[in-house]
Structure 1
Amino acid sequence: MYNSKTNKSGWSEEEKAFQYRSYGKGELAALYLPDILQQSAVEQFNKWIDAAPGLRQRLLSTGMTSRSRRYTPAQVKLIVEALEEP
């Protein structure tokens, strides 16, 4: 699926839709918070996950641990359902 977007010069660009795939934690956090450093983005992203009712528990039930470095596609789907697409 593609969305059309007009750039500053007025030309149309094709932009890919968000992909449900495996993401590194920092990589996904940076998509949601692109204007801050990655470590700060991860810290804020974790706060959002904790604030979303039941999200942390649903992620843990999929096998995520505090040591996990990546989100699985199933975990990404749960996050997007709670926080919307980045």
Structure 2
Amino acid sequence: MNTKNNYQTKAKSQEETDDENDFPIRTYGKGELAAKYMPDVQQQTAVNRFNEWIHLCPGLEERLAATGWSLERRKYTPAQVRIIVKALGTP
């Protein structure tokens, strides 16, 4: 495999997982991602608490808003998931 293909393969794998913990970086539904962080509570409770975490984490709402995020959205894009994982850690 040539160097260009190696680079493309490496870049693709970085888009698909968080290198530290192999957490898949992809589109997640709001409840799905919240449940990853709080698997032992009802999904709506997890969403409510997760929204609180986002609000309380300094600068997180602003970084997410810059990607088009709002509380009304039902899904997180891979870019938003990457921001959340970087701010809150992996679930």
Normalization by structure 2: what TM-score?
Answer: 0.75
User: Percentage identity across aligned positions?
Assistant: 56
Alignment correspondent of 2:16 = none
Which residue of the other structure, out of 70, 73, 79, is the alignment partner of 2:75? 70
> Whose strand fraction is larger, Structure 1's or Structure 2's?
1
CA distance in 1, matches of 2:56, 2:78: 21
> Whose helix fraction is larger, Structure 1's or Structure 2's?
2
Q: CA deviation at 1:31?
A: 0.2
Alignment correspondent of 1:82 = 87
**Unpaired segments of 5 or more residues in structure 2?**
1-12, 14-20
Runs of 4+ in 1 over 4 A off after TM superposition: none
Write the mapping of 1:4-23 to structure 2, written as runs, cut at 5 A. Answer: 17-23=22-28
Note if 1:28 corresponds to 2:33. yes
The one-letter amino acid of 2:35's match is A
**Unpaired segments of 5 or more residues in structure 1?**
2-15
Note if 1:44 corresponds to 2:49. yes
CA distance in 2, matches of 1:69, 1:45: 13
CA distance in 1, matches of 2:24, 2:79: 12
CA distance in 1, matches of 2:34, 2:81: 11
CA distance in 2, matches of 1:60, 1:70: 13
Structure 1 vs Structure 2 CA RMSD: 1.6
Q: CA deviation at 1:65?
A: 2.0
